[in-house]
């Protein structure tokens, strides 16, 4: 899918979020990356094969 050189990380790699955005819709809270991953502003992801990666939000600690 990716035409960049060097090629962007694949959708299966751990650093898949480093791929180049093809479409950004901040008003809707998502971006489409060139590896086919839909990246949501809450850090959740939708992979091209339909798998869902849950958001990785930082845990707030009580004072």
pLDDT digits (tens, 9 = 90+) for 29-39: 999 999 999 99
pLDDT digits (tens, 9 = 90+) for 2-54: 777 888 999 999 999 999 999 999 999 999 999 999 999 999 999 999 999 99
CA distance 48 to 54: 15
CA distance 11 to 59: 26
Q: Where are the beta strands (DSSP E) in the chain?
A: 21-25, 30-33, 38-40, 45-46, 52-53
Q: Taking the model in full, what pTM does it have?
A: 0.81
């Amino acid at each position: 899918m990716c035409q960049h050189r060097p090629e962007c990380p694949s959708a299966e790699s751990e650093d898949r979020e480093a791929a180049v955005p093809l479409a950004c819709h901040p008003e809707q809270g998502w971006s489409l990356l060139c590896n086919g991953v839909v990246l949501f502003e809450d850090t959740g992801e939708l992979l091209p094969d339909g798998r869902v990666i849950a958001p990785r939000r930082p845990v707030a600690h009580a004072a």
